[in-house]
Amino acid sequence: MAEKIVVTAIGIISALGYGQEEHIAALRSSKSGMRYPRYLQSVHAKEFVVGEADKSDKDLAALMDLPTSGNGYTRTTLLALTAVKDLLKNTDIELLHKERTAFINADTVGGMCSVENMYMDFIGPDTKPENLEYIDTLDCSDSTRRISKYYKIKPFEATISTACSSSANALILGHRMITQGLVKRAICGGCDALSRFTLNGFNSLKNVDRNLCRPFDQNRMGLNLGEGAGYLMLETEASANERGAEILAVFSGYANSNDAYHPTAPSPHGEGAYRTMKEAIEKAGLRTGDISYINAHGTATQNNDQSEGEAIETLFTDNIPYFSSTKPYTGHTLAAAGVIEAILSIYGMQQSFIIPNLNFETRMEGMSLQPTATLKENINIAHILSNSFGFGGNNVSLVFSKS
């Protein structure tokens, strides 16, 4: 049997705050991070609530000892850098240089948050436009490269972009590379900053709720967008023990599969989601009855919650575990969603509480399932399942177990 891959450090920034304490406090008090945007400059800023991180670009740059303006660092990269800084706060940074480390990042629209306000200058006649240092930051790997350089992470780096499942896929690649002995450790996760591009994109699909999103509710009206970044440090159990690192969770299973059905809509009865959850649980060597909690993708769009709900009912039949979507807290953080939701679930598992699904009132018609709507404390959580489903039919499920 292959060696266990474990989580030994976590870094996170989202609308709920910065770092573990602020996140756990918000979850335990059922406090959502949603509000009207302060930093996102959109004509729709007063119409849509979003999960915007509280720190300004200047605050974030200052945290990283970077110049606070014209530095070429987009908000996407700054969020990612601060999350990695959080991850490394109890870790010897020398490890990243001394032993083979992979940095596997995920991102959907790169530095769009900056470039969308500068683009017409960039393609205009001026050969040296203002903000030239941002001209090539639209690239998804811009944040990856800058972080690798900032922390001198060697020798491997990669950026994955599979829409809303991107960072979940980054975690899988880290798991596989360590299992095959290609690297000793991997820092895996993802980042996305709010942008007008994505807000208008989802709005053009009529997928955005102007009010707080209501996952798995009969009267759900769409998603709320969010931003953030999260990273996990992965290594083998032996490697963690060798250096006396605390094991925060075991990354026990995963699956990636595709709907092969439609560019944006999930398979109608959740066949893809069903198959992915089932494979991930099997990969972990578990049975459905072993899962104590599901962190659902639960975007609160009509399509997703219908098909994910059906998939959960089909797979778990009349033994459905506690489940919730944490998107009402953070908004849908796109590429970062998979890892951020894994992190929130790990916090719940470590501290024995079930995160309630906010804003739930009415069960979906024709279905028996309903999410856990109130905080449950003192629950022994042995194994959790975290779902991320993206455009292009890209489905990922991850299983984490108590250490």
Active site residues: 164, 297, 332
Q: Where are the alpha helices (DSSP H) in 210-301?
A: 237-242, 271-283
Is 261 near another protein (CB under 8 A)?
yes
Question: Residue 305 and residue 302: Cα distance in Å, rounded?
Answer: 6
CB nearer to another protein: pick between 52 and 259: 259
Nearest Cα to Cα of residue 252 among 378, 401, 124: 401
Is 304 near another protein (CB under 8 A)?
no
Q: How far is the CB of 37 from another protein (least distance, A)?
A: 13
Exposure class string for 37-68: b at 16+ Cβ within 10 A, else e: bebbebebeeebbbbbbbbebeebbebeebee
Asked whether the beta carbons of 86 and 13 are under 8 A apart, the reply is yes
Is 224 near another protein (CB under 8 A)?
no
For the record, the structure tokens of 172 come out as 């899988």
Is 71 near another protein (CB under 8 A)?
no
Is 182 near another protein (CB under 8 A)?
yes
Is 145 near another protein (CB under 8 A)?
yes
Largest CA distance in the chain: 65
Binding residue (CB under 8 A) for another protein from 69, 127, 219, 374: 127
Binding residue (CB under 8 A) for another protein from 252, 256, 304, 388: 256
The count of residues interacting with another protein (CB under 8 A) is: 64
Is 393 near another protein (CB under 8 A)?
yes
Is 167 near another protein (CB under 8 A)?
no
Is 131 near another protein (CB under 8 A)?
no
Phi and psi torsions of 353, nearest 5°: -130, 150
Is 128 near another protein (CB under 8 A)?
yes
Binding residue (CB under 8 A) for another protein from 69, 204, 219, 319: 204
Question: Residue 129 and residue 246: Cα distance in Å, rounded?
Answer: 49
Query: Over the Cα atoms of the chain, what is R_g?
Result: 20
For the record, the structure tokens of 274 come out as 């069903």
Q: How far is the CB of 341 from another protein (least distance, A)?
A: 19
Is 203 near another protein (CB under 8 A)?
yes
**Exposed (0-12), middle (13-18) or buried (19+): which is 91, by Cβ within 10 Å?**
middle
Residues that bind another protein (CB under 8 A): 42-44, 107-108, 112, 116, 119-120, 122-123, 127-129, 132, 135-136, 138-141, 144-145, 148-149, 155-163, 169, 173, 176-177, 180, 182, 196-197, 200-205, 256-264, 272, 275, 390-394
